[in-house]
Amino acid sequence: MIDMELLVQVWTPETFDEYALLPENRHRLLELIGGELVEVVASPKSSNVGADILTYINSFVLEHDLGHITGADGGYRVGQERYIPDVGFISYSRQPELESIEGYNLLPPDLAVEVVSPNDRDEDIEIKVANYLAAGTIVWLVREARQRISIFKPGQPVTVLGIHDVLEDSNLLPGFTLPLSKVFRRKPQG
């Protein structure tokens, strides 16, 4: 649980990093969004969708030896902010080896998949997308409840895909395709 005093404090990257690396906080998933400390808490459904997307991307990246994949506990420095995307991808060409540092990766990811949870604030999502784009990161913003994925690429208009579409990116992950019906599948009732 975050102390109320911590919520009103203005956080710098340095004070955030010090706080996040305290022994009592190392197990917590903390982000620095717009100068505010935010603890990441996903819903089970959002986490499940993120895990599915992670599985498909990771299988493809491993098969084609393209780079590094992180899950919902792998953090990145994005400008002056600190984010933990549900799925992160950084190519070998940008970072041949992941450093074994504590805290957040020094480089922003090439791709950030953010699965919107019911407790996520729209303002935080907007800030994160804008900062990812400013850092050159492609963002797949997943809204599970709407069965939509919005694709944000620096300098390009937003593309919105639905359950009957296929997600692909020939530049970032050449040959990767993911029918969204596999991500937004409905489980049988009863």
pLDDT 10s digit of each residue in the chain, 190 long? 455 455 557 899 999 989 998 999 888 889 889 989 988 887 888 889 999 999 999 999 999 999 999 998 899 999 999 999 999 999 999 999 987 677 899 999 999 999 999 889 999 999 999 999 999 999 999 999 899 999 999 999 999 999 999 999 989 999 999 999 999 976 544 4
Asked whether residue 85 is assigned to any structural domain, the reply reads yes
Q: Categorise residue 9: left if φ over 0, alpha if ψ from -120 to 50, beta otherwise.
A: beta
Helix or strand holding residue 129 (H, E): helix 122-134
Contact status, residue 137 vs residue 108, Cβ threshold 8 Å: yes
Structural domains counted in the chain: 1
Asked whether residue 148 is assigned to any structural domain, the reply reads yes
37 exposure class (CB count in 10 Å sphere: 0-12, 13-18, 19+)? buried
Asked whether residue 34 is assigned to any structural domain, the reply reads no
Asked whether residue 15 is assigned to any structural domain, the reply reads no
Give the pLDDT confidence of 15-60 residue by residue, as tens digits: 998 999 899 988 888 988 998 998 888 788 888 999 999 999 999 9
Asked whether residue 79 is assigned to any structural domain, the reply reads yes
Query: Structural domain of residue 82, as residue ranges?
Result: 42-183
What is the spatial distance between Cα 44 and Cα 25, in angstroms, rounded to a whole number?
A: 22
Q: What is the CATH number of the domain that holds 46?
A: 3.90.1570.10
Given 3-state DSSP classes, what are the helix, strand and coil percentages for the chain, each rounded to the nearest 5? 30, 30, 40
Asked whether residue 56 is assigned to any structural domain, the reply reads yes
What is the spatial distance between Cα 162 and Cα 140, in angstroms, rounded to a whole number?
A: 12
Contact status, residue 2 vs residue 9, Cβ threshold 8 Å: no
What is the spatial distance between Cα 47 and Cα 86, in angstroms, rounded to a whole number?
A: 8
